[in-house]
């Protein structure tokens, strides 16, 4: 069984203004549940986690939760919410009451868009992170490499909050050895907190056009060394990945970039960690249990 812990869906006309960037013309079109099914079926992926797509509006949550309720492969949703909103607990309760609300597994804010590298140190942000944990949810960290130290401090100070680092914190893969230097030390500081797991996702996009598996290997090796297989999960970052590679190529590239691991360790990365951390209601044969059989 393979679980994709990170993908998106969108309709550009509904407010995904970041897609207006000229360099993103290749993915500036609707991506819908039928498109997802076609991509994952071709890649042998059984279940997925649908992650907010940068729209930053509460209206996205009912749409995505509805997609999950109607699309069996989608086993969980990481929805957007403003982590600084004083009414965040009420917002999360509202999400739970929506159709498909039992499939809400996490929350994400666009921290990467905040200019302050220490944004996660702010008291109002910290209160929001605790509210996410109090609601029984995971907080996905979509951050830049220079924001990893603040994330490490937040994870250390808030051990009750389960964090998932998206895209390994967006290391400078194109810079090669120079990109490894500060990032690897910062990643180790973040991994020192046991309440943090990380996604091996978005790496081909960070590597850019002309990427190679060889370019990915040092960064994947650092992640495995610092987090261990039981705290890492595969994510396609589809359809963003289509800028440089199709879905199956991304899946195969991660498999090729991993250092030597046991079959059990590879199973953790490709399914077990995501199922455990997001508490996804899936069975080992890859089928769901009504997709709402476990409490979240």
Neighbours of 268 (CB within 10 A): 22
Record the tokens describing residue 259, joined without a space.
């250092």
**Which residues are CB-neighbours of 53 under 8 A, at least 6 positions away?**
8, 9, 10, 16, 60
Whole-angstrom CA distances from 141 to 11, 75, 151, 165, 270 are 23, 20, 8, 5, 20
How far apart are the two ends of the chain, measured CA to CA in Å?
A: 21
Q: Please give the Cα distance from 264 to 257 (Å, whole number).
A: 17
Q: What is the pLDDT, as a whole number, of residue 8? A: 98
Q: Please give the Cα distance from 145 to 124 (Å, whole number).
A: 22
Q: Residue 109: beta bridge partners?
A: 141
Residue 154 phi, psi (nearest 5): -65, -45
Neighbours of 191 (CB within 10 A): 22
Q: What is the pLDDT, as a whole number, of residue 283? A: 67
Q: Please give the Cα distance from 206 to 221 (Å, whole number).
A: 16
Q: What is the pLDDT, as a whole number, of residue 292? A: 28
Q: What is the pLDDT, as a whole number, of residue 284? A: 59
The one-digit pLDDT tens for each residue of the chain (296 residues) are: 999 999 999 999 999 999 999 999 999 999 999 999 999 999 999 999 999 999 999 999 999 999 999 999 999 999 999 999 999 999 999 999 999 999 999 999 999 999 999 999 999 999 999 999 999 999 999 999 999 999 999 999 999 999 999 999 999 999 999 999 999 999 999 999 999 999 999 999 999 999 999 999 999 999 999 999 999 999 999 999 999 999 999 999 999 999 999 999 999 999 999 999 999 998 655 445 432 222 11
Show the 3-state SS of 18-54.
Answer: HHHCHHHHHHCCCECHHHHHHHHHHHCCCEEEEECCC
Q: What is the pLDDT, as a whole number, of residue 4? A: 98
CATH 3.20.20.140 assigned to domain 3-278? The reply is yes
Whole-angstrom CA distances from 169 to 11, 74, 184, 231, 294 are 26, 24, 10, 15, 30
Q: What is the pLDDT, as a whole number, of residue 296? A: 17
Element (H, E) at 173: none
Domain positions in the chain: 3-278
Q: What is the pLDDT, as a whole number, of residue 285? A: 55
Q: What is the largest CA-CA distance in the chain?
A: 48
């Amino acid at each position: 069984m393979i679980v994709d812990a990170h993908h998106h869906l969108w309709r550009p006309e509904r407010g995904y203004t970041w897609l207006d960037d000229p360099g993103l013309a290749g993915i500036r079109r609707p991506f819908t549940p039928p498109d997802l099914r076609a991509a994952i079926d071709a890649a042998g992926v059984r279940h997925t986690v649908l992650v907010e797509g940068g729209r930053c509006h509460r209206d996205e949550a009912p749409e995505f939760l509805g997609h999950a309720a109607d699309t069996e492969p989608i086993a969980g949703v990481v929805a957007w919410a403003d982590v600084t909103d004083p009414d965040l607990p009420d917002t999360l309760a509202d999400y739970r009451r929506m159709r498909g609300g039992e499939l809400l597994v996490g929350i994400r804010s666009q921290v990467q868009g905040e200019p302050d590298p220490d944004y996660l140190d702010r008291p109002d942000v910290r209160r929001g992170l605790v509210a996410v944990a109090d609601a029984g949810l995971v907080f996905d960290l979509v951050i830049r490499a220079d924001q990893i130290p603040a994330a490490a401090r937040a994870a250390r100070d808030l051990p009750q909050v389960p964090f998932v680092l998206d895209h390994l914190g967006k290391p400078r893969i194109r810079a090669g050895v120079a990109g490894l230097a500060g990032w690897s030390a910062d990643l180790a500081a973040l991994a020192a907190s046991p309440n943090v797991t990380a996604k091996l996702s978005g790496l081909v996009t960070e590597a850019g056009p002309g990427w190679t598996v060889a370019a990915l290997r040092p960064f994947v090796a650092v992640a495995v060394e610092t987090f261990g297989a039981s705290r890492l999960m595969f994510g396609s970052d589809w359809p963003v990945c289509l800028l440089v590679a199709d879905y199956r190529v991304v899946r195969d590239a991660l498999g090729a970039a991993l250092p030597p691991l046991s079959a059990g360790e590879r199973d953790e990365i490709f399914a077990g960690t995501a199922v455990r951390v997001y508490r996804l209601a899936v069975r080992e044969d890859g089928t769901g249990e009504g997709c709402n059989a476990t409490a979240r």
